[in-house]
Amino acid sequence: METLRQHSEQLYKEELEVLSKQEKNKIPENWNMSPRSVLTFLMGGKLKNGFEVSPKYIGDKRLMEIAVATLTTDRALLLYGIPGTGKSWVSEHIAAAVSGDSTLLVQGTAGTSEESIRYGWNYAQLLAKGPSKEALVETPVMRAMQDGKIIRFEELTRVPAEVQDTLITILSEKALPVPELNMEIAAIKGFNLIATANNRDKGVNELSGALKRRFNTVILPTPKTEQEELNIVTSRVGAMAKAMEMPLEKSSLEQIKRVITIFRELRSGITEDGKTKLKSPSGTLSSAEVISVVNQGLSLSAHFGNGVLTSEDMAAGIIGAIVKDPVQDAIVWKEYLSSVMKKRKEYRDIYLSCKELI
């Protein structure tokens, strides 16, 4: 039975195999390929033997170089930025390329405890035999240290500050003391950590200075140009469109382009021509939101429409993404509708579809 979502190392198994087979560059100890090949896996490209590697990250190559290079040093990597800029996406693909395994993961929440980072105890064993190696419950962090792999830490800044600091010893000593057993787990080469963090979320706990110093921070930006954003969106919705037998022909691309323009304008607080200032809505409007609006539109159109992406299929999704706060955002949205969208001739159908829904 096929799983609902495949991990990067499953989905891109062939690419990863070809990349490590043709490797000519030096491979860091316990890595599956050289940093250069990891970069090719991320950015895509054609290999010498003609094999095409698909692009995963669309954007500045230099940022990916810095991210990958960081992992060969004794510093950990922090991917930082607003939601939906591809932080988790990049971290998954780097882990798949470097370690062949993107599943060693700690999800940071307000309830993340020290035990889920260091280790826990199997209480039945503990009561029966006392503290022993058998009673120790390993965490993904511990396993990554022992196997020389990449550990992913999602949403690090949601974790309470004192729990975050558990990472300091792990990142500076590269060891995890287990005082109960009078021993320590020492990390072997290849171990490192990729954390992701938001700066635009409720309940953010700043990293302490001591912890920050253990990281190199790479800020992932929102896409610079409309074309770049269109590439990101089409590369992500392509699979869905194919499954629904709805090729993304010209008219669908025009629909998608308009959503991107609307989101970019509201995000930046100014129209593309630089003439009209706008208020921004409370939520984030990243490429991830465009992707879900388009996916929703494709689904509506395939199941209840005529199989062509229309502005009616997009309107509900657009409003859902923009109006997160029923009072404040509704004002922002209505203003945008009447002062921008209404005046654009080529927006007539999408304007009417959106207007009908408010």
Which residue stretch of 16-24, 65-73, 77-85, 96-104 sits at the interface with ligand ADP (rule: CB under 6 A)? 77-85
Element (H, E) at 231: helix 226-243
Cβ nearer to ligand ADP, comparing 199 with 339: 199
Q: Quote the strand ranges of the chain, DSSP E.
A: 45-46, 52-53, 76-81, 105-107, 119-121, 136-138, 150-154, 175-178, 183-186, 192-198, 215-219
Contact 123, 71 (CB under 8 A): no
Which residue stretch of 140-148, 242-250, 283-291, 297-305 sits at the interface with ligand ADP (rule: CB under 6 A)? 283-291
Residue 117's nearest CA partner among 170, 57, 79, 74 is 170
Cβ nearer to ligand ADP, comparing 142 with 193: 193
Query: 223-282: which residues touch ligand ADP (CB under 6 A)?
Result: 232, 236
Look-up of token digits 């020290």: 114
Question: What is the smallest separation between the CB atom of 87 and Mg ion, expressed in angstroms?
Answer: 5
Distance separating alpha carbons of residues 273 and 145, to the nearest angstrom: 52
Contact 153, 196 (CB under 8 A): yes
For residue 114, CA distances in Å to 102, 109, 165, 243 come to 22, 12, 9, 43
89 binds, among ligand ADP, Mg ion, none (CB under 5 to 8 A by kind): ligand ADP
Residues 6+ apart with CB under 8 A from 136: 119, 120, 121, 122, 178, 181
Cβ nearer to ligand ADP, comparing 25 with 225: 225
HSE (CB half, 13 Å, CA atoms) of 28? Answer: 24
SS3 content of the chain, % helix, strand, coil (to 5): 50, 15, 35
Which residue stretch of 86-94, 95-103, 223-231, 279-287 sits at the interface with Mg ion (rule: CB under 5 A)? 86-94
Which residue stretch of 28-36, 144-152, 158-166, 284-292 sits at the interface with ligand ADP (rule: CB under 6 A)? 284-292
Question: What is the smallest separation between the CB atom of 230 and ligand ADP, expressed in angstroms?
Answer: 12
For residue 165, CA distances in Å to 170, 182, 218 come to 9, 22, 20
Query: 84-113: which residues touch ligand ADP (CB under 6 A)?
Result: 84-89
57 binds, among Mg ion, ligand ADP, none (CB under 5 to 8 A by kind): ligand ADP
287 binds, among ligand ADP, Mg ion, none (CB under 5 to 8 A by kind): ligand ADP
Residue 192's nearest CA partner among 210, 216, 212 is 216
| Residue 102 interacting with Mg ion (CB under 5 A) | no
Binding mask 328-347 for ligand ADP (x = CB under 6 A): --------------------
* Cβ neighbours, 10 Å, residue 264: 20
85 binds, among Mg ion, ligand ADP, none (CB under 5 to 8 A by kind): ligand ADP
From candidates 196, 252, 261, 310, binder to ligand ADP by CB under 6 A:
196
From candidates 39, 42, 43, 58, binder to ligand ADP by CB under 6 A:
58
From candidates 85, 88, 112, 311, binder to Mg ion by CB under 5 A:
88
Residues that bind ligand ADP (CB under 6 A): 57-59, 83-89, 196, 232, 236, 287-288, 291
Residues that bind Mg ion (CB under 5 A): 88
